Structure 1
Amino acid sequence: MRKHILIVLGLIILVGIAGFTWLAWPDTARLDVNQVTGKRPDITAPRIQMLPTIGVAKAVGWPKGAMPTAAAGMKVQPFAAGLDHPRWLYRLPNGDVLVAETNSPPRKGPGVVTTVMNFLMGRAGAGVPSANRITLLRDADGDGVAETRSAFMTGLNSPFGMTLMDGQLYIGNTDALVRVPYTEGATRITAKPERVIPLNGGGNHWARNVIAAPDGKTLYVGVGSASNIAENGMDAEKYRANILQVWPKDKNWRIYAAGLRNPNGMAINPKSGQLWTVVNERDMLGSDLAPDYLTQVEFGDHFGWPWYYWGGYPDDRVEPKNPALQQYAKRPDYALGPHVAALGLTFAGDAKLGDRFTNGVFVGEHGSWNRKPLSGYKVVYIPFGDTGFPAANAKPVDVLGGFLNKDGEAQGRPVGVITDKAGALLVADDVGNTIWRVSTK
């Protein structure tokens, strides 16, 4: 009898180990990334994982003299090098460029998730302490290289987004939207930042972007979720996974749009005046789900997070359920592919990069940490049609690549993208610690 019990127990243990291994084993993509891009991506059945696939590219930096590869007809050169984890860019009216040298606040707390994320971020080159600094770069002679560099603002708290409005420079710290008076041509600001509104921090998705709305009176602020799928409860997600609309004069705000897991890059379409964003979608549904996306955002929109993805596909892991939301979950306008980590966004607008790049958006894809094989690690262009939306059959066009070496290691990782005063594209590379400039030959 005892022998039979031991056999049964052994079988139960083996089945348990096999089940755990099946759920936790790295998931390999069954689709090419391009099949999960565009206006109508392939949305396959989820492959739920207990532990995420670990596939982050080890950060090694650029060998001496090496640089990314630009699209045909373009060239690339360093606009500024030797920076400290440059993440975000903003061009001032006089052509000066501000760069946020910044990183996540220290991840605190016990638990496997914190330990794993700290390890992954360190391997990906994001484990360095935040410089908490905004640096000003000036290319006065117009040769495409910033010959002047100054510490524009210091003592911030994981700063990210920057924008000017009514003589004030607004900065998205991880825990607050703040502002300081700005004088054109200034190379340093020493004024103490004034808090406009607090922003909930902690957990995942620390970066807070801010842009000016076309009305000239309000700002949009992106605040990512604290978790993957609200696994710590919705109370921990209060006023997160949102784009906020802020009235800075009165220090009032409202939720403009919701259900956006991590709306990082935001930009105004210069032709329509509409707000657009790129969003990092959820993890641990396998290497083919869910696609990061690019979408127009209107007041009152809800994009489904955490209950639904891609306009109504349910995530059965989320409790409690929210069936009433399903029919209202807005479908995004364009899929960028699974786990590409779309962060940077800018419209072609005043870009002078040839006829191919006049009506569309540039997207900085920071690159996957949980997909096999890797995805992202490049800058792409999405062509728009005459309707003000991505063209019907448009696929991403590679603009800047070569961030991964032949061994699959990250020489660099693109984040923020903007145009400079001459119409070239500037790309912040937080692993290569460089701002790259892409222009025509």
Structure 2
Amino acid sequence: MNYLSKISVALGIGITLVTFGCQQNQKAEAQSVKTQNSANKQNISGATSEVKLDKIKLPPNFKIDVWAADIPNAREMAISEDGIVFVGNRQENKVYAVIDEDGDGKADTKFTLADDLHMPNGVAYKDGDLYVGEVSRIIRFKDIKNNLNNPKYEVVYDGYPTETHHGWKFIAFGPDGKLYVPVGAPCNICEPEKEIFASITRLDVDSPNPTPEIYAKGVRNSVGFDWDPKTGDMWFTDNGRDMMGDDVPNCELNHITEAGQHFGYPYWHEGTVKDPEFGDKGGPASDYVAPAAKLGAHVAPLGMRFYEGNMFPTEYKNQVIIAKHGSWNRSKKSGYVLTSLKVDGSSATDEKEFATGWLDEEAQEAWGRPVDVQELKDGSLLISDDMAGVIYRVTYSAK
């Protein structure tokens, strides 16, 4: 072999090794969590679901797939820095950790972290610890990533009301490091005796004796909130009351600008609709904070997030994406969609449908109900569905 040939071979081997190394590094990054077998670990790579993805309509160049199946009653999601997706549920007693270990864009592993909880709808992740919101308490799984095989929890606070009507929790950490926990009204419409009802509270989980502080009042039932990445302000969805007809009142998207604000319940709905039973007991509508956007009657807006990723087109940057779970007592069903809104300061406008198709409009039958949305590190969007028991993944690829 001549000198030039030897150089060519050497260069070829070097390029191959470099390419292989890059591929391995990319693979290693995608597989940042490798787990051991244990009694609470389940392989779900072959799990199937009866979903109708062909019915889902998205904007051009978007695609939806099932990211994880066999996630019964999948509700709120929280994601660790290395991609572990924690999932709560409302109708069962379990909390899951779901992982894509081989980096193929679909989950293949599910850990059951607990199976003795009371409506563990809410999950939040901070500094390596997983927090779960039950009806009356907040629990914590310390250093959860390193304890998936043998998860144990401690009680952080157990003094929230025990009423289950709107008692399930959506929880999340704010920019101040505190855990925000809503306490829904224990009724469709009433003037609760205890101040903590119909509120959003916040809890200092690092305190040796945490005590809820009421952060927002007059909030009937919030099951979704997030913070504007530009301003740090909190935004939340709120479910309107029932039994006032098909089209009244609207569910709401609200904007909090300071602690202690009152958003109207039970006296006023959607800012201008006076409650027929309790309206005369409150002050004028001007005493309360009107919604930033009206989302439609009975649509049941739940999880919402500001989109901060780079996968979707630039117009989605910092938009709010909301999961509308869908109506239960409207003569013609509403909701069962994802929508997006533009947020600028205190303004939320230009609501558009982002994903539709879970409801067969003609038959008035739903096969799925979106609950929460969360963003993966690559900018793709996860959507939980408590009816179909799956988590979807929405991706975008320009053509």
The worse-fitting range, judged by mean Cα deviation, of 261-270 and 62-71 is: 62-71
Between the aligned partners of 2:212 and 2:79, the Cα distance in structure 1 is 25
Quick check: 1:209–1:223 contact (8 Å CA) kept in 2? no
Report the CA distance between 1:147 and its aligned residue. Answer: 1.6
Per-residue deviation, 1:183: 4.1
Q: Is the Cα–Cα contact under 8 Å of residues 225 and 261 in structure 1 kept in the other structure? A: yes
The 5 Å alignment of 1:302-313 reads 302-313=262-273
**C-alpha RMSD of matched pairs (Å):** 2.1
Deviation at 1:355, TM superposition (A): 2.3
1:160-199 pair list within 5 angstroms: 160-199=121-160
| Structure 1 outlier segments of 4+, above 4 Å | 63-67
Please tell me the residue identity of whatever aligns with 2:353: D
Residue 193 of structure 1 aligns to which amino acid in structure 2?
A: E
Aligned ranges for residues 181-220 of structure 1 at < 5 Å? 181-216=142-177, 218-220=178-180
Determine the C-alpha separation between the residues in 2 that align with 1:384 and 1:426: 21
Match of 1:92 in 2: 80
Does the Cα contact within 8 Å between 1:62 and 1:412 map onto a contact in 2? no
Shift in CA distance, 147/287, structure 1 to aligned 2, threshold 3 Å: same
CA contact (8 A) 2:88 2:120 kept: yes
Going from structure 1 to structure 2, the CA distance change for 1:335 and 1:325 (only over 3 Å counts) comes to: same
Measure, in 2, the Cα distance between the counterparts of 1:65 and 1:314.
41
Cα-to-partner distance string for 1:343-369 (whole Å, 9 max, x where unaligned):
011111125222231121110000011
Distance 2:152 2:322 in 1: 33
Alignment of 1:359-438 (within 5 A): 359-385=318-344, 387=345, 389-391=347-349, 394=350, 396-405=351-360, 406-438=362-394
Q: TM-score, normalised by structure 1?
A: 0.74
> Are 2:241 and 1:315 aligned?
no
Which amino acid in 2 is paired with 1:94?
Answer: D
Going from structure 1 to structure 2, the CA distance change for 1:336 and 1:185 (only over 3 Å counts) comes to farther
Following superposition, the deviation at residue 81 of structure 1 comes to: 0.9
Greater shift, 143-152 or 425-434, is seen at 143-152
Q: How many residues align?
A: 345
1:67 to 1:80, Cα distance in 2 relative to 1, 3 A: farther
Question: Which blocks of at least 5 consecutive residues in structure 2 are unaligned?
Answer: 1-48
Q: Which residue of 1 aligns with 2:67?
A: 79
Q: Which position in structure 2 is the counterpart of 1:328? A: 287
Larger relative contact order (Cα-Cα within 8 Å, sequence gap ≥ 6): 1
**Partner SS state of residue 184, structure 1:** helix
- Structure 2: which amino acid aligns with 1:302? H
Verify the 8 A CA contact 1:70 1:438 in the aligned structure 2. no
Could you tell me which residue of structure 2 aligns to residue 125 of structure 1?
none
List aligned pairs for 1:195-274, cutoff 5 A. 195-216=156-177, 218-230=178-190, 234-235=192-193, 238-248=195-205, 249=207, 250-274=209-233
When residues 388 and 185 of structure 1 are mapped into structure 2, their CA distance, relative to the original with a 3 A threshold, is farther
Report the 3-state secondary structure (helix = DSSP H, G, I; strand = E; otherwise coil) of the residue aligned with 1:374.
coil
Whole-Å separation in 2 of the counterparts to 1:257 and 1:227: 18
- Secondary structure of 1:362's aligned partner: strand
Equivalent residue for 1:279, pick from 197, 216, 238: 238
Quick check: 2:251–2:301 contact (8 Å CA) kept in 1?
yes
Percent of aligned pairs with the same residue?
30
Task: Report if aligned partners of 1:351, 1:425 keep a CA contact under 8 Å in 2.
Answer: no
Q: Distance in 1 between matches of 2:58 and 2:50?
A: 16
Q: Give the TM-score normalised by the residue count of structure 2.
A: 0.81
